[in-house]
Structure 1
């Protein structure tokens, strides 16, 4: 077995596709269509970035995009830079028209919750519901370009609301109901929606939560809102007298059966998504209809090998970019699963796998954190569930560590395409993915995504291999944001992604490209540790610590000392205790599996680890506290109360 240095990550193949799988793959058919062999993949990728007009035009044709493509594929920016270029400037399309496609009798959506699969919805039924919701929104005054905001669960009503909004050429933006009133206002308040669609209560892990007060507070705060649609059967709460209040049933109370579609230009706004916002107000990222659709069909069909009649699931909330990514699966004529609830229930770890077995999920999307939790609680999906239909398991949200690759193939399924994918809300897609033609390498992301001109730069701005560096993208792509919503949005957009390296997108990830063309992600550059001038990604420590059975969760950050910093580690243990023996084991494991530089000088026992509402650890919030700075947007945190413990961290004893 070869060893990569540094990092102690084994370069071992844990899965290879069969000849049949390769020959029947979408990417093989795509390569046949363009006349360029798919092996070696590097040649296909090079063509996709050297001939971007031909590549993206062929993606349009291969996916059968509904709409007028036009003759011109790309109008370059005046300075030939990434900003200002216009993709498909003559095109007219509509997202909903592309998603509501296919055989009327096929199941388009499976709706599920903590009680299991509730129903399957045929495409004809979905089209009818969208038609009625479209007419209801039209009567509320929604027109092309208006914003419709949802405070919604990941369920059928939310999906219908999104599709109805898109069908009108309007703009959709959503938050999950577990955000507090301030968190919602900080987000959708910035985009001033005309209509608010909201749940009044939701269930999570068997508990019911009433959010009426939050909805009333949001409605009172947003002067732009002229109508609120309650997704509950009653409207038992008060709003301002000039705001129209109706129920979901009332919205759909019309005779429409077939939706109409307002086609819009390729770069017309479709979604407004939000960054986590822990260092200030969330950034409102505006994404285009064409960019979203083209990026997603490329990723689904060419990289994930999603085909007609496959069943795609992803555990996500409506606040996360993976929600619209999931919804776009309909454009490939796959069925999608909308699941509302907790991924792991009290005394029932199996809920998502029971759903997968019942309906035959082919593509299962989740997070490394979820897999780690399953492993620690001892649940083995492959042993307990029939997963014969499952073809691919995909993860994102954090790096998937090598040991988790082993666990997936040992405890879920041996013959499985495992894809650790990485990108961001900012591009509503991925820079790195896998394919059904590549072997899967333990602990490494398989390849650059087609059409994405990715490089890794060192501190001098030179492209490097086998060294940690900054992830950049050197050419434009269709799913680049249009702007940040609000005053000065263009300037804020430029300053966020283009100010560090002139003319190229700087993403903010610390990454290493291997000689084999695979990738290892070490974390965000703004949370990189730098003790004694040595750059350490936080994931290098997480991958070791969180494999220890005694450790329930952990957080790594740089503890400031004079003009330097020390590696600090906060841990939660399974038995809520910590002794010298466990501490020594932690340090010994990190020293052996990483390096002496990685060993934390300070180890603290804490009661809770701070997370964003989208399930990402918040090292930056703790670092801000220790630097005496305020955490500017606690509303972005799922558990902001836990920060009180970190305010006194420098007074606590540590190991």
Structure 2
């Protein structure tokens, strides 16, 4: 592929910084699965690459093996694993009926199922038996209030035990669940929920963030007015300080009335939940996933790739706004104890998540790249200051993880902790590439495509490329791909979102490189590509260089085509305390980009800004900023409740028409 169509990026180290110990590989569940598969096929799979190739060459047989290995509970004739394989429209396991909640609640006993931690330090532990009783009580109440299969139930809730219980109760009936955090105002929550015409709302009285309590009684009242289809509201006391609405039902009262635990088994592709796009370019689109696809994929991802099982503690920092909340709840399906934290990851200091991991014997911890970068800049020494002996895997997602963060984990956490950077998305509520217990780790790289994911990098001609940057595509269906978009009766929005570039092939919108050794690097969103003189570069390659500098707390780069035919590529930076954007710092930033990323992508201007706006799930809103710089009306391209700091986004209006406005 010629340089005129190929993004460029920094070189990568050749030697892995982590390799699995043979004893750990032998004891892993992925090895058990390989042996199980060998007994079925008569072939052997001596390493991960062999297993992955089987999983994509024989995709129906692979997912049938996952089904049997994890003993998926269902009724009806299973029949073909893959009844139809065309995308979109693939049909998985026709004739089967199952239920997500039944798998999440298969375990019983007095052992802990959920450990829920509040920012103030209070901790509530719920056993498996208690969780089953609570879900049964809420499900009975929902049934008594007329909720049936296909109805929609929504939660305006923080990341605590009630959100998990309400979701599982809803799923047990075959009803659809959707949730968002209370950092959304009523308008932002209604932009999501009103599309669904929900019949029941679970709403907390408020939440705590960064040491401050936020009473959301007024927002809940406003939200109820914006949801005219509601037939009942359940008040969930979290703060315990606000006035209880007189016409609402009380969470504690519902839990006090015991009921038998029952499950409505539904078709494999029956809707389970509705997740949402980030909503930075219009009304958030509702992405619907099915019971069966999530059950299968999350067993594979958590059970095989993360090696989670009974007795393990699983903690991924998230809020109810993000798909990782759904992934954490799925830890229950493999018998893991899930650890929930409701609060700021940096309160009372950046060590908070490490403290939780140490205090609760966490085996798999998930954080964001930004959190690791902040820990490094704060000079934290997690392994020196706390006992992290149970930690074996550190996951990271939400953005590409730079090489420096891999090295920081090795040097300051533990050298034998596997760094498992994962690339996926809300679209599939899963991953495309990541790690496994039997894959080495190279700094700055994802170890391999995940099992069952026929992921490739394609150039503009639709040809697979290795060692070069291309579009991330998936050439064969995954069970967790959306069953449909909400309010998309003819499927046109769904088709246009993923299949309008390459017919019958999922195009995700990321720039990726599949290396000669099979690992994967992510260069950023392809719709935010920096195109200078025909040479493309992912924004992540710029961030990897710039955000490693101690003077820079945060950064955003855009490439804006201007009305006069010009192209303006500014780098916006948030400085660390005490730093000054003088000629010396500008020169060092430009020099680092020139030598470590690309000489053609040295920014036209380096501009200090007070903050970098992000979505509620932590992604930089590069496209809205680009459109504002190009002159678009902010109110038409993004809702105020879809970004974490709308004033930070408004700040960029001063750069309309590019550098001329800046100068």
Question: Shorter-normalised TM-score: what interval?
Answer: over 0.9
Of residues 88, 92, 96, the one that matches 1:91 is 96
1:76 positional shift = 3.7
Do 1:27 and 1:303's aligned partners in 2 also have CA atoms closer than 8 Å?
Answer: yes
Do 1:74 and 1:85's aligned partners in 2 also have CA atoms closer than 8 Å?
Answer: no
1:83 positional shift = 2.1
CA gap of 1:253–1:117, structure 2 versus 1, over 3 A, is: closer
Q: 2:608 aligned with 1:608, yes or no?
A: no
Of residues 72, 88, 91, the one that matches 1:65 is 72
Do 1:154 and 1:338's aligned partners in 2 also have CA atoms closer than 8 Å?
Answer: yes
Q: Which residue of 2 aligns with 1:310?
A: 312
What SS does the corresponding residue of 2:628 show, helix, strand or coil? helix
1:337 positional shift = 0.5
Q: 2:307 aligned with 1:300, yes or no?
A: no
CA shift digits 1:595-619 (9 cap, x unpaired): 2112111111101111111111111
CA shift digits 1:195-249 (9 cap, x unpaired): 010112110010111222221121111111111111125873669xxxx521212
> Which moves more between the two structures, 212-221 or 39-48?
39-48
1:577 positional shift = 3.5
1:84 positional shift = 2.2
Of residues 55, 70, 91, the one that matches 2:62 is 55
Q: 2:153 aligned with 1:152, yes or no?
A: no
2:66 & 2:78 partners in 1: Cα distance?
15
1:189 positional shift = 1.2
Q: Which residue of 1 aligns with 2:500?
A: 499
CA gap of 1:447–1:564, structure 2 versus 1, over 3 A, is: farther
Do 2:512 and 2:522's aligned partners in 1 also have CA atoms closer than 8 Å?
Answer: yes
Do 1:27 and 1:38's aligned partners in 2 also have CA atoms closer than 8 Å?
Answer: no
CA gap of 1:408–1:38, structure 2 versus 1, over 3 A, is: farther
CA shift digits 1:328-364 (9 cap, x unpaired): 0111111100110011114x22222222112200000
Q: Which residue of 2 aligns with 1:113?
A: 118
Of residues 255, 263, 271, the one that matches 1:269 is 271
CA gap of 1:89–1:373, structure 2 versus 1, over 3 A, is: same
Q: Which residue of 1 aligns with 2:468?
A: 467
What SS does the corresponding residue of 1:252 show, helix, strand or coil? helix
Q: With structure 2 as the length reference, what TM-score do the two structures score? A: 0.94
Q: Which residue of 2 aligns with 1:482?
A: 483
CA gap of 1:322–1:128, structure 2 versus 1, over 3 A, is: same
CA shift digits 1:372-394 (9 cap, x unpaired): 11111111211111000111111
1:486 & 1:608 partners in 2: Cα distance?
35
1:71 positional shift = 3.1
1:2-401 superposed matches below 5 A: 7-35=10-38, 36-68=43-75, 70-77=77-84, 81-116=86-121, 118-232=123-237, 236=243, 244-256=247-259, 258-346=260-348, 348-401=349-402
Do 1:13 and 1:441's aligned partners in 2 also have CA atoms closer than 8 Å?
Answer: yes
What SS does the corresponding residue of 1:213 show, helix, strand or coil? helix
1:219 & 1:304 partners in 2: Cα distance?
40
1:254 & 1:238 partners in 2: Cα distance?
21
Structure 2: gaps of 5 or more residues: 1-7
1:269 positional shift = 0.4
Q: With structure 1 as the length reference, what TM-score do the two structures score? A: 0.95
2:478 & 2:80 partners in 1: Cα distance?
12
2:616 & 2:60 partners in 1: Cα distance?
38
What SS does the corresponding residue of 2:555 show, helix, strand or coil? strand
1:563-578 superposed matches below 5 A: 563-574=565-576, 575=578, 577-578=580-581
CA shift digits 1:399-430 (9 cap, x unpaired): 01111100011111111121100111000101
What SS does the corresponding residue of 1:67 show, helix, strand or coil? coil
> Which moves more between the two structures, 416-425 or 480-489?
480-489
CA gap of 1:86–1:624, structure 2 versus 1, over 3 A, is: same
Do 2:558 and 2:571's aligned partners in 1 also have CA atoms closer than 8 Å?
Answer: yes
Do 1:545 and 1:586's aligned partners in 2 also have CA atoms closer than 8 Å?
Answer: yes
Q: Which residue of 2 aligns with 1:618?
A: 621
Q: 2:425 aligned with 1:424, yes or no?
A: yes
Q: 2:410 aligned with 1:404, yes or no?
A: no
CA shift digits 1:454-490 (9 cap, x unpaired): 1111011111011111011111121110110114461
Of residues 643, 648, 654, the one that matches 1:642 is 648
CA gap of 1:140–1:569, structure 2 versus 1, over 3 A, is: same
CA shift digits 1:154-209 (9 cap, x unpaired): 10111111111111111110001001221111111111111010112110010111
CA shift digits 1:295-334 (9 cap, x unpaired): 0010011111112211101100111100111100111111
1:527 & 1:95 partners in 2: Cα distance?
36
1:438 positional shift = 1.1
Do 1:234 and 1:247's aligned partners in 2 also have CA atoms closer than 8 Å?
Answer: no
1:43 positional shift = 2.3
1:7 & 1:26 partners in 2: Cα distance?
35
Do 2:29 and 2:307's aligned partners in 1 also have CA atoms closer than 8 Å?
Answer: yes
CA gap of 1:6–1:211, structure 2 versus 1, over 3 A, is: closer
2:659 & 2:650 partners in 1: Cα distance?
13
Q: Which residue of 1 aligns with 2:5?
A: none
1:559 positional shift = 3.2
Do 1:560 and 1:626's aligned partners in 2 also have CA atoms closer than 8 Å?
Answer: no
1:564 positional shift = 4.7
> Which moves more between the two structures, 536-545 or 114-123?
114-123
Do 1:117 and 1:355's aligned partners in 2 also have CA atoms closer than 8 Å?
Answer: no
CA gap of 1:596–1:651, structure 2 versus 1, over 3 A, is: closer
Query: How large is the Cα RMSD of the aligned pairs?
Result: 1.8
> Which moves more between the two structures, 81-90 or 157-166?
81-90
CA gap of 1:10–1:653, structure 2 versus 1, over 3 A, is: farther
CA gap of 1:595–1:633, structure 2 versus 1, over 3 A, is: closer
Do 1:483 and 1:490's aligned partners in 2 also have CA atoms closer than 8 Å?
Answer: yes
1:141 positional shift = 1.7
1:433 & 1:624 partners in 2: Cα distance?
32
1:106 positional shift = 1.4
